[in-house]
Amino acid sequence: MEFLRFLEGIRTPVGDAFFSAVTHMGEETIFILVGLLFFWCIDKKKGYYILFVGFIGMVANQFLKLWFRVPRPWVKDPNFTIVESARAEATGYSFPSGHTQTSVGMYGSVARACKNIWVRIGCMLLCILVPLSRMYLGVHTPADVGVSIVIALVLIFGLYPIIGKVLEKPKYMRCFLGVLIIIAIAFLAFVLLYPFPADIDIHNYESGVKNAYKILGCIVGLWLSYEIDIHYTNFETKGIWWVQILKLVPGLLILLAIKSGLKEPLYALLNGSFIADGIRYFLITAVAGGVWPMTFKLWNKLDKKAKK
């Protein structure tokens, strides 16, 4: 808490605005954007790598949050103040940091997968700035941030050769996806069946249950997407710049519509059950990896015509 109090003492309106903007670079929507930019438009294998680092990191992060159940800094010390604009996104337990996990895993895997020096420098800066923003804003301690960085680095460097290997043959990929589904089911069973103490914060617990269903939905959706790709679409990622925009922008808008537009209808249909979150994220992943790429053949034809 000493370091957080130091940062609290040097806050300024400019610093608040800067780090409030920076911290958004570690949010889920940015992860979706970056992952799909690679998956659709740059390199499919690198896209899988970035997505797997994110999904596995999310499982580890959410498990540790519910296992240790560490309260947020302002709960530990009621006299400690945070930048209020950050409170809405600071859900769930404090340890380890979800934004740090997402940002370092995402930008670190991009830096590992890309050779462009400027891309690497930009990604490294974000790997530093986003974790720092979480502490500056007062929503995480150095321990929260540090553990997330370590987990992300292990996944970045540990998964890189593994993903390259499993993508060589469908049977390897299916085994890998099968292991991930088992892990996701085990995590869901943990959050539903583990005898948590009676005084557990219900908001934090529900956040963990929602995320468990989301993770399982994403991995099942990714497997379906993989099967559609190898059996039917087998889409190409390369294309002229305006064709890439036609692939990326409408696709992202469709996914954001599913993410936001189906939330309340699915909750209403399933009487508020968090299974709705699993279904919603399954649909997001299945549409992103399986359905929307079916349109890429049209874009590829436009690309070929433009090059004639």
Instruction: Write the DSSP symbol of residue 197.
Output: -
Distances (CA, A) of 13 to 23, 80, 83: 15, 18, 10
State the amino acid at position 46 in one-letter form: K
Look at 143-157, 198-212, 222-236, 252-266 and tell me which has the smallest mean pLDDT: 198-212
The answer to whether 46 touches 167, Cβ cutoff 8 Å, is no
Q: What is the pLDDT of residues 212-225, one digit of tens each?
A: 999 999 999 999 99
The model's pTM is 0.90
Sequence ranges of the domains in the chain? 1-168
Comparing 81 with 169, the larger pLDDT belongs to 169
Q: What is the pLDDT of residues 114-128, one digit of tens each?
A: 989 999 999 999 999
- Percent of the chain exceeding pLDDT 70 equals 97
Please determine, for residue 87, whether its predicted confidence score (pLDDT) is greater than 80. Answer: no
- Residue 194, Ramachandran bin (φ over 0: left; ψ between -120 and 50: alpha; else beta): beta
